[in-house]
Amino acid sequence: MSDSDQTDQPNLYLITPTSFEIARFVPRLAAILDGEPIACLRLALVTEDEDDLARAADALRELAHARDVPLVLSGHAGMVERLGLDGVHLTDGPRNMRATRKALGGDAIIGAYCGALRHDGMTAGEAGADYIAFGPLGETPLADGPKVEHDLFAWWSEMIEIPVVAEGALDVGLIERFAPVTDFFAIGAEIWREDDALAALRALIAPLR
Protein backbone atom coordinates (compact mmCIF):
# COMPACT_ATOMS: atom_id res chain seq x y z
CA MET A 1 0.00 0.00 0.00
CA SER A 2 1.79 3.08 -1.20
CA ASP A 3 1.16 6.77 -1.36
CA SER A 4 -0.23 8.24 -4.55
CA ASP A 5 1.68 10.90 -6.42
CA GLN A 6 0.75 14.38 -5.33
CA THR A 7 -0.69 15.12 -8.77
CA ASP A 8 -2.94 12.06 -8.63
CA GLN A 9 -6.34 11.71 -7.07
CA PRO A 10 -6.55 9.89 -3.72
CA ASN A 11 -6.66 6.11 -3.80
CA LEU A 12 -9.59 4.05 -2.53
CA TYR A 13 -9.32 1.93 0.59
CA LEU A 14 -12.30 -0.38 1.14
CA ILE A 15 -13.60 -1.44 4.57
CA THR A 16 -15.87 -4.46 4.97
CA PRO A 17 -19.01 -4.32 7.11
CA THR A 18 -18.57 -5.29 10.75
CA SER A 19 -21.06 -8.12 10.20
CA PHE A 20 -21.80 -10.05 7.02
CA GLU A 21 -22.77 -13.44 5.62
CA ILE A 22 -19.81 -14.65 3.56
CA ALA A 23 -21.79 -16.27 0.74
CA ARG A 24 -23.83 -13.11 0.15
CA PHE A 25 -21.01 -10.63 0.71
CA VAL A 26 -18.35 -12.14 -1.54
CA PRO A 27 -20.20 -11.40 -4.83
CA ARG A 28 -20.86 -7.81 -3.71
CA LEU A 29 -17.21 -7.35 -2.83
CA ALA A 30 -16.05 -8.94 -6.08
CA ALA A 31 -18.19 -6.51 -8.07
CA ILE A 32 -16.44 -3.57 -6.43
CA LEU A 33 -12.94 -5.02 -6.74
CA ASP A 34 -13.59 -5.66 -10.43
CA GLY A 35 -15.35 -2.36 -11.00
CA GLU A 36 -13.05 0.17 -9.31
CA PRO A 37 -9.31 0.33 -8.49
CA ILE A 38 -9.04 -0.53 -4.78
CA ALA A 39 -5.65 0.05 -3.16
CA CYS A 40 -6.31 -1.88 0.05
CA LEU A 41 -9.08 -3.91 1.70
CA ARG A 42 -9.71 -4.00 5.45
CA LEU A 43 -11.49 -6.93 7.07
CA ALA A 44 -13.44 -5.22 9.84
CA LEU A 45 -15.57 -8.16 10.98
CA VAL A 46 -16.48 -7.93 14.66
CA THR A 47 -16.72 -11.39 16.21
CA GLU A 48 -15.62 -13.30 19.29
CA ASP A 49 -15.31 -16.50 17.26
CA GLU A 50 -11.88 -17.17 15.77
CA ASP A 51 -13.34 -19.71 13.36
CA ASP A 52 -15.76 -17.13 11.97
CA LEU A 53 -12.90 -14.69 11.50
CA ALA A 54 -10.74 -17.33 9.84
CA ARG A 55 -13.50 -18.31 7.40
CA ALA A 56 -14.07 -14.70 6.44
CA ALA A 57 -10.33 -14.09 6.07
CA ASP A 58 -9.93 -17.14 3.83
CA ALA A 59 -12.75 -16.06 1.52
CA LEU A 60 -11.65 -12.44 1.29
CA ARG A 61 -7.95 -13.24 0.96
CA GLU A 62 -8.60 -15.43 -2.07
CA LEU A 63 -10.74 -12.73 -3.65
CA ALA A 64 -8.38 -9.85 -2.91
CA HIS A 65 -5.09 -11.54 -3.71
CA ALA A 66 -6.41 -12.77 -7.06
CA ARG A 67 -6.75 -9.07 -7.90
CA ASP A 68 -3.46 -7.98 -6.29
CA VAL A 69 -5.28 -6.11 -3.52
CA PRO A 70 -3.66 -6.35 -0.06
CA LEU A 71 -5.92 -7.45 2.80
CA VAL A 72 -5.39 -6.11 6.31
CA LEU A 73 -7.20 -7.10 9.48
CA SER A 74 -8.78 -4.62 11.86
CA GLY A 75 -7.14 -5.38 15.21
CA HIS A 76 -6.13 -8.97 16.09
CA ALA A 77 -2.50 -8.42 15.06
CA GLY A 78 -1.62 -11.83 16.47
CA MET A 79 -3.76 -13.53 13.82
CA VAL A 80 -2.35 -11.78 10.76
CA GLU A 81 0.40 -14.27 9.94
CA ARG A 82 -1.72 -17.29 10.82
CA LEU A 83 -4.42 -16.15 8.39
CA GLY A 84 -1.97 -15.26 5.63
CA LEU A 85 -2.96 -11.61 5.56
CA ASP A 86 -0.88 -8.61 4.52
CA GLY A 87 -1.07 -6.57 7.68
CA VAL A 88 -3.15 -5.01 10.41
CA HIS A 89 -5.12 -1.83 11.05
CA LEU A 90 -4.61 -0.81 14.68
CA THR A 91 -7.61 0.96 16.17
CA ASP A 92 -5.89 2.29 19.30
CA GLY A 93 -3.54 4.81 17.76
CA PRO A 94 0.18 4.49 18.48
CA ARG A 95 -0.15 2.39 21.63
CA ASN A 96 0.92 -0.97 20.19
CA MET A 97 2.62 0.19 17.02
CA ARG A 98 6.23 -0.51 17.96
CA ALA A 99 5.51 -3.98 19.34
CA THR A 100 3.33 -4.84 16.35
CA ARG A 101 6.00 -3.77 13.89
CA LYS A 102 8.56 -5.88 15.72
CA ALA A 103 6.24 -8.90 15.71
CA LEU A 104 5.12 -8.68 12.07
CA GLY A 105 8.34 -7.44 10.50
CA GLY A 106 9.11 -4.79 7.95
CA ASP A 107 7.05 -6.18 5.08
CA ALA A 108 3.66 -6.11 6.82
CA ILE A 109 1.28 -3.23 6.22
CA ILE A 110 0.55 -1.62 9.58
CA GLY A 111 -1.78 1.33 9.87
CA ALA A 112 -3.08 3.24 12.86
CA TYR A 113 -6.40 4.96 13.41
CA CYS A 114 -5.76 8.11 15.44
CA GLY A 115 -9.13 9.85 15.56
CA ALA A 116 -8.55 13.59 15.40
CA LEU A 117 -5.24 13.51 17.30
CA ARG A 118 -2.32 14.88 15.30
CA HIS A 119 0.18 13.97 18.03
CA ASP A 120 -0.98 10.34 18.08
CA GLY A 121 -0.56 10.21 14.32
CA MET A 122 2.98 11.54 14.51
CA THR A 123 3.85 9.13 17.34
CA ALA A 124 2.47 6.16 15.40
CA GLY A 125 4.39 7.24 12.33
CA GLU A 126 7.64 7.48 14.26
CA ALA A 127 6.97 3.98 15.66
CA GLY A 128 6.70 2.45 12.21
CA ALA A 129 3.20 2.99 10.81
CA ASP A 130 2.77 2.69 7.04
CA TYR A 131 -0.26 4.96 7.10
CA ILE A 132 -2.25 7.05 9.56
CA ALA A 133 -6.05 7.19 9.47
CA PHE A 134 -7.94 10.17 10.86
CA GLY A 135 -11.70 10.42 11.25
CA PRO A 136 -14.57 10.79 11.26
CA LEU A 137 -14.89 13.59 8.74
CA GLY A 138 -18.68 13.79 8.81
CA GLU A 139 -21.39 13.76 11.45
CA THR A 140 -22.03 10.36 12.98
CA PRO A 141 -23.87 9.50 16.21
CA LEU A 142 -21.49 6.59 16.80
CA ALA A 143 -18.28 8.62 16.85
CA ASP A 144 -16.26 8.52 20.07
CA GLY A 145 -14.51 11.82 19.43
CA PRO A 146 -14.76 15.07 17.49
CA LYS A 147 -14.84 15.42 13.73
CA VAL A 148 -11.49 15.86 12.04
CA GLU A 149 -10.98 19.32 10.64
CA HIS A 150 -9.65 20.06 7.17
CA ASP A 151 -6.69 21.88 8.73
CA LEU A 152 -5.27 18.63 10.14
CA PHE A 153 -5.18 16.97 6.72
CA ALA A 154 -3.84 20.12 5.06
CA TRP A 155 -1.02 20.34 7.59
CA TRP A 156 -0.26 16.61 7.39
CA SER A 157 -0.14 16.51 3.60
CA GLU A 158 2.29 19.42 3.58
CA MET A 159 4.54 18.44 6.48
CA ILE A 160 4.47 14.62 6.82
CA GLU A 161 5.49 12.02 4.23
CA ILE A 162 3.57 9.09 5.77
CA PRO A 163 0.37 8.51 3.78
CA VAL A 164 -2.82 9.70 5.43
CA VAL A 165 -6.26 8.07 5.21
CA ALA A 166 -9.55 9.95 5.57
CA GLU A 167 -12.41 7.85 6.92
CA GLY A 168 -15.75 8.08 8.67
CA ALA A 169 -19.16 9.40 7.56
CA LEU A 170 -17.98 10.52 4.14
CA ASP A 171 -20.28 12.17 1.63
CA VAL A 172 -19.82 13.68 -1.82
CA GLY A 173 -19.08 17.14 -0.44
CA LEU A 174 -16.42 15.83 1.94
CA ILE A 175 -14.81 13.75 -0.81
CA GLU A 176 -14.54 16.86 -2.96
CA ARG A 177 -13.24 19.05 -0.13
CA PHE A 178 -10.66 16.64 1.26
CA ALA A 179 -9.39 15.17 -2.02
CA PRO A 180 -6.51 17.66 -2.34
CA VAL A 181 -5.19 16.89 1.16
CA THR A 182 -5.51 13.13 1.63
CA ASP A 183 -3.82 10.11 0.07
CA PHE A 184 -6.66 7.61 0.62
CA PHE A 185 -10.38 7.64 1.25
CA ALA A 186 -11.46 4.66 3.38
CA ILE A 187 -15.03 3.79 2.45
CA GLY A 188 -17.29 1.16 3.99
CA ALA A 189 -20.56 1.82 5.79
CA GLU A 190 -21.33 4.61 3.32
CA ILE A 191 -21.91 2.08 0.52
CA TRP A 192 -22.77 -1.31 2.07
CA ARG A 193 -26.15 -0.11 3.30
CA GLU A 194 -27.18 0.38 -0.34
CA ASP A 195 -28.48 -2.48 -2.49
CA ASP A 196 -26.02 -1.66 -5.27
CA ALA A 197 -22.79 -0.94 -3.41
CA LEU A 198 -20.77 -0.38 -6.59
CA ALA A 199 -23.21 2.25 -7.85
CA ALA A 200 -23.17 3.87 -4.40
CA LEU A 201 -19.37 3.95 -4.43
CA ARG A 202 -19.26 5.52 -7.88
CA ALA A 203 -21.77 8.18 -6.84
CA LEU A 204 -19.78 8.94 -3.69
CA ILE A 205 -16.46 9.33 -5.49
CA ALA A 206 -17.87 11.30 -8.44
CA PRO A 207 -15.75 14.36 -7.51
CA LEU A 208 -12.61 12.27 -8.12
CA ARG A 209 -13.49 11.68 -11.75
CATH of the domain at 137: 3.20.20.70
Q: Residue 209: CA atoms inside 13 Å, Cβ hemisphere, count?
A: 8
pLDDT averaged per 10 residues in sequence order, the chain, 209 residues: 62 98 98 98 96 98 98 97 98 96 97 97 98 95 83 98 97 98 98 97 97
pTM: 0.95
Answer whether residue 3 is part of any domain.
Answer: no
What pLDDT shows up at residue 3?
A: 54
Cis peptide leading into 136, omega within 30 of 0? Answer: yes
Answer whether residue 2 is part of any domain.
Answer: no
What pLDDT shows up at residue 206?
A: 98
* Secondary structure of residue 38 in the 3-state scheme: strand
Answer whether residue 15 is part of any domain.
Answer: yes
Answer whether residue 6 is part of any domain.
Answer: no
What pLDDT shows up at residue 141?
A: 76
The residue range of the domain holding 114 is 11-208
What pLDDT shows up at residue 45?
A: 98
Answer whether residue 115 is part of any domain.
Answer: yes
Answer whether residue 5 is part of any domain.
Answer: no
Separation between Cα atoms, residue 177 and residue 161, nearest integer Å: 20
Answer whether residue 111 is part of any domain.
Answer: yes
Answer whether residue 148 is part of any domain.
Answer: yes
pLDDT digit string, tens, across residues 44-102:
999 999 999 999 999 999 999 999 999 999 999 999 999 999 999 999 999 999 999 99
| Residue 45 DSSP symbol | -
Distances 149 to 122, 155, 156 between C-alpha atoms, Å: 16, 10, 12
Q: Of 97, 100, 99, 126, which Cα lies nearest the Cα of 112?
A: 97
Total tally of structural domains belonging to the chain: 1
Separation between Cα atoms, residue 55 and residue 184, nearest integer Å: 28
How many residues in total does the chain contain? 209
